[in-house]
Amino acid sequence: MMTTNKPITFSIKNLDLFYGEKQALNQIELPIYEKEVTALIGPSGCGKSTFLRVLNRMNDLIDSCVIKGDVLYHQDDIYRKDTDIIELRTKVGMVFQKPNPFPMSIYDNITYGPKCQGIKNKQVLNEIVETSLKQAAIWDEVKDRLKESALSLSGGQQQRLCIARTIAMKPEVILMDEPTSALDPVATAKIEDLIVELKKEYTIVIVTHNMQQAARISDKTAFFLMGEVVEFGDTNHMFSTPKHKKTEEYITGRFG
């Protein structure tokens, strides 16, 4: 049974999404709760990443994409014509599957966004760098290397740097699209520990193919199949007593 008293950050109702004639999402109904980790699971091509990109309007970059239904962020429809998309993507940050640091110094990676927002004060920028890197649990590893290229970092460090870069923009929500799929087990464990820590301050939505990861770090889980949400609920409850046979088959590795 799903229980929570937390406010809802996103409320998605009757969501349909089309790429041209092809329907990729069908009548999605989901709440995303504040300061929780919501995991999106399901087989490849089932609509998880497509849904994730709905939440910060990344699908706008695809000409053939048509969206119907309601996507409410704090009760505001983010698909209104007068929505400030840059502001939305500042509040709803994103971390991608593969680490994508800018080809510049570690310091400049973190300050790039704040500088674009007009912050020029060196002391303020220094504080943003330190705070963001500390929150991303990488400060101690890079504090003496801030002028070095971000590309000199390991894959796991680069991904934590990208998380720090997102944090520097002071988002409310962090979207993560399989953020550990390109990382080794040690780096993956560090990112997972970080996610659990970050949910104290941020709402997190993560796409993952790793059932153990979803079980370890998420509060809620949505199981997607062929563009539909088959089941949504408390992660512990869903993994122990799933309501639907397809959910059970997928979680236990007998799906297919």
Give the model's pLDDT for residue 4.
Answer: 61
Tokens of 142: 């890079």
Cα 233-237-243 angle, rounded to 5 deg: 70
Give the model's pLDDT for residue 169.
Answer: 95
State the Cα–Cα distance between residues 237 and 243, nearest whole angstrom: 9
Q: What is the pLDDT of residues 158-177, one digit of tens each?
A: 999 999 999 999 999 999 99
What number is the average pLDDT over the span 5-14?
Answer: 93
Predicted TM-score (pTM) of this structure: 0.94
State the Cα–Cα distance between residues 125 and 129, nearest whole angstrom: 6
Rounded to 5 degrees, φ, ψ at 17 are -135, 135
pLDDT band at residue 1, thresholds of 50, 70 and 90? very low
Q: What is the pLDDT of residues 71-95, one digit of tens each?
A: 999 999 999 999 999 999 999 999 9
State the Cα–Cα distance between residues 151 and 215, nearest whole angstrom: 32
Contact 60/229 with Cβ under 8 angstroms? no
What number is the average pLDDT over the span 213-236?
Answer: 96
Topology adopted by domain 8-251: Rossmann fold (3.40.50)
Q: Where are the domains of the chain?
A: 8-251
